[in-house]
Structure 1
Amino acid sequence: MSEALHALLDLLDLERIEEDLFRGRSRAAVIPRVFGGQVAAQALVAAGRTVPEDRHAHSLHAYFLRPGDPEAPIVYAVDRIRDGRSFTTRRVVAVQHGKPVFGLSASFQAPEEGLDHQASMPDAPDPATLPTFEERLRDYPHLDPGVAARIAEARAAVDLRYVDEPPFGAYGTPREPRSQVWFRTNGKLEGALDRHLLHVVLATYVSDMTLLDSVLLAHGRGGWAVGDVVGASLDHAMWFHRPFRADEWLLYDQESPSASGGRGLGQARIHTRDGRLAVSVVQEGVVRVPRRH
């Protein structure tokens, strides 16, 4: 296991301060607020720790309410909304400085058989043939070295491989509003770490890294890394259809059907390498062009 992945798992391991009250911390962020994937993942950890292990997360719906302060702890309060025979529902509010910064509802289900079909996996090259994220960054001399280093550090726990150039790598020319990345953790999850909830939590963490890329691609924008767009996540929803492992290759196929009113919508599907549809994701975010542009 890489040091970066070990540090991420430590970050997601919340302190329990009361029966349904947890405390998390943050790490230095690339931008002056808590990374949205972190707070979503931590909130799901808090919810999952109040649910029997044989009930697996099948959906989450979340709103980002205020920018999180990376210098302050985050308190996660869990509300046990429902414990049914098949489904368990939890609501989590993340609080900093006495104010809610994030809200999440998550549903968990006992194992059950039922109808089964899925959308086909799209074509994508083998991840082994693609450059690593660090290798791609070396090809972008237009990026400030400090910015490039912070991006690389923030994503070091994950082996993330773009199928095509990311927005900040080839901006200036609009192209199809679609982006594909392969990802997996930089290390195996074994022993006590090999739990269903942790694989889902890690996918939640990664899901916020690139989902709005397709919005930027449609307009030839490079994003905050080059300073031509200001953005932030607004809301996020995920549906977990089938079991998967976050330490094995997953294809994140993303597209943007719309952007308007200072907001952009991204929607995506995550497939396992053998073609199973594992997760569906939808996110809306603020996407604003600074006045100087």
Structure 2
Amino acid sequence: MLLAIDVGNTNTVLGLYKLANGTGAELVANWRITTPSRQTTDEFGVLLRSLFGSQGLEIGQVDGIAVASVVPPLDSTLRKVCEVYFKVKPLFVEPGVKTGLPVLTDNPTEVGADRIVDCIAAFERFGGPCIVVDMGTATTFDAISKKGEFLGGAIAPGLGISADALFARAARLPRIDVKKPAKVIGTGTVDNIQIGLYYGYIGLVDGILERMIAEMGPETKTVATGGLAKLIASGSKYIGAVDEMLTLNGLRIIYERNLERQKKRNG
């Protein structure tokens, strides 16, 4: 089985795949946890054992691990967890790994692993041209050409960051749960904030997508992923699909493209 790990600044998403000779895959289980930035190797290992146990699974079933991380200080701990608890050398998405995605930016090494992985999965499912909107701590917009090339994109503060900034700088405003409001003209402080955050963020997302689509062409497809994808997509004019497993599927695709290399590394 393959364990795919997407390490974000706020959350880490894990998916366990049952591979069929590298030609097919079934998602057996998936989990979303707070990124363990301060946990030791043993603490993280115990957590993973617990997650597997909750689904009646054994970590010994894992014979491959693929990782996309945007938290470099955690990488060494995660490598050790994989080698000590799973007895597997993980495949990190980094320069030198075969992805099949040409990166046409000024400095390809600057592009986050999660963005590369998202684009690979999106092109595999939707073809191109395509735009991926990944809504996490930051919201990224990634443009893929008709040929499957990474053209570039945009980065904006995530909805959570925007909300936190508002609460931190306005002493009299309460912290609220961000959700779709029932109306657009609020009559109380709480619904005023919800309206501003929700529709304001949809305006940000749709404003960028509108301009990207105008530049890339009307046939451009759009897909959203990330923890807030469903919430924002429900009010967006330009998001055509939501795929919460997009990053995990991209990791699975990259692992399959590097399968022979990983078999050699793991004996």
Bin of the TM-score, shorter chain as denominator length? under 0.3
Higher helix proportion (structure 1 or 2): 2
Higher strand proportion (structure 1 or 2): 1
Work out which of the two has the higher radius of gyration on C-alpha atoms and give 1 or 2.
Answer: 2
